[in-house]
Chain A
Amino acid sequence: MITTEVTFDELAALIKQAAGITVDPKELKQSADSPFDSFGLDSLGLLGIVGELENRYGRSLPPDSERCRTPQEFLNLVNSTLKAGA
């Protein structure tokens, strides 16, 4: 099975798709430890991204994934979950 990893580029695309907010992937990466709300993303937006990833990979993310505060924290959680399941 191919090991999948969600990148900052993909996260930026997800933010656009799920919450309608345009974020420059480079900026997302550079400010990976800034809180999501500094990018304009609220808790509903992050819930939408969690749902999209769960549907895309056919796998549940940990129950409180939407409580991650920063892009880095979120990607770490998502990617460790995907790896563990692979």
Chain B
Amino acid sequence: MTRRVAVTGIGVVAPGGIGATAFWDLLAAGRTATRGISLFDPEGLRSRIAAECDFDPYEHGLDAELCQHADRYIQFAVVAAGEAVRDAGLDTGVVDPWRTAVSLGSAVGGTTRLEQDYVLVSERGRRWDVDHRAADPQLHLAFSPSTLASVVAERFDARGPVQTVSTGCTSGLDAVGYAFHTIAEGRADVCVAGASDSPISPITMACFDAIKATSPNNDDPEHASRPFDAHRDGFVMGEGAAVLVLEEYEHARARGAEVLCEISGYATYGNAYHMTGLTSEGLEMARAIDTTLDQARIDPTAIDYVNAHGSGTRQNDRHETAAVKRSLGAHAYETPMSSIKSMVGHSLGAIGAIEVVACVLALKHQVVPPTANYETPDPECDLDYVPRTARPRKLNNVLSVGSGFGGFQSAVLLTGPGGRTR
């Protein structure tokens, strides 16, 4: 059974833009939300910059329990899901809870809370035999990665398949992809799909310091995330969440919901190469792109925009450029490809979903968001990266691609509400 999968609602909590409108304003203006870390004192770290959300849970109607006790990444997800569900017009009673699924991704889950309590129970790293009496009695909620999907499912009364997806930095794309399968194959009619992460904490910053993956450009944080630029020097950590309501196409039509666009393909492969390393050929990401095109039965030339992983590390941007050229051939040179990580940073597991939402908005506005900070071409990255300024363009088929530690290579294909062409 293969059914069409519509997007009927979106919600987002991103650095510099909470809510779809503010988020799109940021992207369309090419503004960057990267800055010096304020969430903790980053002294001593190599990379002391990040894209942070100015987020107050009390402003978003969360109940006191969630505001006081839930982890930040859970709060992000609940707010983004609330916006998406409202956007889709899914009031209580509109859909059968047993036919409603949840698929949410997170790369590091409750790590930030786990670290905070670790500091207490270990007396700041002094003891291996930690003292449980100093721990928060709710700590198991940070320990269990499925808390994310569970809290969102409970809040929106989803009783169908509920899962948390954790494939590192492709978690967001894969969570949307699993949701796509769930609906296309008939296991649910509606799926609340997306991802959330709040990884700006000492342990996560330190672990990326240790592999020199993050930008050390602490003196100029606004311009530190430079995907595809010759002077790029690593990614800038981000945080946030994005959620989409995916819905079986006829189900959406029958209740008169607006179809924002369709998810028309999804694939993921492993590179079987290295936990952090990427090849210079991009064979596996190319294969993921090719598979989505096959699923949608369109030619590579039908792709109007590629939303890149574009993390701004030397190897990623080279790898991805090679992959897109391998799949799209000469058409790659005519296809705009941009990275919103230049503006909102890299929020690990969340970013894939944030980028899919950016694609939905790009389709809606018929505008390609830019790659901010792109100044100096790199001979190894020779495509059209939409430097600094958003560009109006007729968009119908849009690709979002991503790579994750562990070798994951994923692609999601979105098609405008008018349906497929070519």
Direct contact of A and B (CB under 8 A): yes
* Residues in A lying within 8 Å of B, measured CB to CB: 42-44, 47-48, 51, 66
Contact with A along B211-243 (1 / 0, CB 8 A): 110000000000000000000000000000000
Closest to B233 in A: A63
Complex: A44 Cα to B211 Cα, angstroms: 7
**A66 and B277 within 8 A (CB):** no
Whether A44 and B276, one on each chain, are in contact in the complex, defined by CB atoms closer than 8 angstroms, is yes
> How far apart are B202's CB and chain A's nearest CB, in angstroms?
16
Assuming A43-B277, A44-B211, A48-B210, what are 5 further A-B pairs, CB within 8 angstroms?
A: A42-B274, A42-B277, A47-B212, A51-B210, A66-B212
CB of A20, distance to nearest CB on chain B (Å): 14
- Chain B window 276-296, contacts with chain A (Cβ cutoff 8 Å), 1 for yes, 0 for no: 110000000000000000000
A to B CB contacts below 8 Å, 13 in the list:
A42-B274, A42-B277, A43-B276, A43-B277, A44-B211, A44-B275, A44-B276, A47-B210, A47-B211, A47-B212, A48-B210, A51-B210, A66-B212
CB distance from B106 to the nearest CB of A (A): 23
Q: Which 7 A-B pairs have the closest CB atoms?
A: A47-B211, A44-B211, A51-B210, A44-B276, A47-B210, A43-B277, A42-B274
A6 to chain B, nearest CB (A): 20
What are the interface flags for B189-216 relative to A under an 8 Å C-beta threshold, 1 for contact and 0 otherwise?
Answer: 0000000000000000000001110000
Q: How far is the CA of A71 from the CA of B64 in the complex (A)?
A: 58
Q: For the complex, what is the distance from the CA of A42 to the CA of B277, rounded to whole Å?
A: 9
Q: In the assembly, what is the distance between CA of A44 and CA of B210, in Å? A: 9
Nearest CB of chain A from residue B232's CB, rounded to whole Å: 15
Residues on B with C-beta less than 8 A from A43 are: 276-277
